[in-house]
Amino acid sequence: MERACAIVGGGLAGFVAYTTLRHGGLAPGEIAVFGTDPDPVAAWRPRAEAIRQRRMRSESDGHCYPRSFPGLAPREALRQGTAAPLLETVCNRYRPTVDEFLRHVEELRERCGWDESFQRHRAGRVRAGPRGFEVDDRGSFGHVLVATGHPGLAIPPELAGDPRAVHAYEPHGYADRVAVVGAGMAAATEWLNALAAGAEVVSVRRREPVRRPLNVPRPLFSKAGLAGFHDAARAERAELLARFGEPSYPPGREWDEPLESARREGRFRISATLNGEAQIICATGFRRGFEHDAVLRGLVAEHGLDTEGRWIVLKADGTVPALSDGTRALALSGVHSQWAYPAADTLVGMKYVARRFLRKVRTCRTR
């Protein structure tokens, strides 16, 4: 029997979509969630722990609630009995702690029925059927949202197999002399971590990082900025996305002052190459592109989907044009939906797709 919808992926993007569907009136029995771990932060948590992350890069609306307001700032203000988080969010200075975010996810998971819908299964194939979509041998679904997450850690080929190298998102300590490869948020965090551990740090980078508070320029979180992005020609849009993927981390004294102090002490320097450091930390993020994801690679090959560079071409609502119409919808969420929303791998971007997916499901509930 065909069920209303399926979510392929049990991480944060899948969780955000699930809470949105539940808020929109779907019962747990109408939603199947396929993933490898019932904990929505099972993949995210160890990465945050590995880089000793204490605060989120997101702001108050970086949460998993289906509605934007109230966000984490009012929640924290109420719990702690202080207006400080509210004042900080007015100035775009509020950054929830990782502990606050994890507490929020756990509480929401207990309330929303996630575990009733979750099925432990690593999906290998999604294909369009006569009326809906088939997920392996798990049944037919009227609508499917694919939220398979980042397709693995990126290790520079020249460092693959090097016994000195460890990825920033894997558990590690710090040697006396550390080279950090990369210049984004994870790299900046690791500079401070290694310095705090007493190490001498070499930042190995090919280009200078962009200093911005969020993953992409703030205007792209607005309707006007997003409309301009959607109006851009395909080649221009791909170029913009590639530019937004360049290394960046927030401006601020909490980053600059310890780095400048360490530089004066001779404990922090920048280099274009490695030079015999005892430890190499690859703060190089994740593999990029649908080709590295088995489910998406299969979809493109089997259905001849339109692509541009490493992206699958999507409608503005995150759906795949060739496989979505007035009777069914296949949507992508998380990092693979950047063609629809440049900051797709943020919680705000996940909610952007989830809300539009809910609209599709609502308009096709009776079949």
Q: 32, 128, 123, 30: which is closest to 324 by C-alpha?
A: 128
Topology, domain 157-209+247-282: FAD/NAD(P)-binding domain (3.50.50)
Residue 367 has pLDDT above 60, yes or no: no
**Same fold yes or no, 3-152+287-363 and 157-209+247-282:** yes
Tens digit of each residue's pLDDT (9 = 90 or more) over 60-92? 567 888 877 676 666 666 677 777 665 666 555
Domain definitions of the chain by residue range: 3-152+287-363, 157-209+247-282
Tens digit of each residue's pLDDT (9 = 90 or more) over 258-271? 999 999 999 999 99
Type of residue numbered 236: E
Do 213 and 250 touch, CB atoms closer than 8 A? yes
pLDDT of residue 218: 86
Do 288 and 154 touch, CB atoms closer than 8 A? yes
Tens digit of each residue's pLDDT (9 = 90 or more) over 138-194? 999 999 999 999 999 999 999 999 999 999 999 999 999 999 999 999 999 999 999
Residue 366 has pLDDT above 60, yes or no: no
Determine what percent of the chain is predicted with pLDDT higher than 70.
91
Query: Cα separations (Å) of 286 from 48, 169, 183?
Result: 14, 10, 14
Burial of 187 (0-12, 13-18, 19+ CB in 10 A): buried
Average of per-residue pLDDT across 49-64: 79
Helix ranges (DSSP H) in the chain: 12-23, 44-50, 72-80, 84-90, 98-112, 114-117, 185-196, 223-231, 234-244, 253-264, 294-303, 347-363
Tens digit of each residue's pLDDT (9 = 90 or more) over 314-347? 999 999 999 999 899 999 999 999 999 999 999 9
Block residue for tokens 């606050």: 100
The C-alpha atoms of residue 107 and residue 224 are separated, in whole angstroms, by 34
Tell me the CATH number of domain 3-152+287-363, given options 3.90.1150.150, 3.40.50.300, 3.30.70.1230, 3.50.50.60: 3.50.50.60
Q: What are phi and psi of 307, to 5 degrees?
A: -135, 160
Tens digit of each residue's pLDDT (9 = 90 or more) over 221-260? 889 999 999 999 999 999 999 999 899 999 999 999 999 9
- Rounded to two decimals, the pTM is 0.91
Q: What secondary structure letter does DSSP report for 334?
A: G
> For the chain, give me the number of helices (H) and strands (E)?
12, 16
Report the run of H or E that residue 135 belongs to, with start and end: strand 133-135
Do 330 and 142 touch, CB atoms closer than 8 A? no
Residue 1 has pLDDT above 50, yes or no: no
Average pLDDT across the chain, whole number? 92
The C-alpha atoms of residue 203 and residue 183 are separated, in whole angstroms, by 8
- Rg of the chain taking only CA atoms, in angstroms: 21
Q: What are phi and psi of 306, to 5 degrees?
A: -75, 130
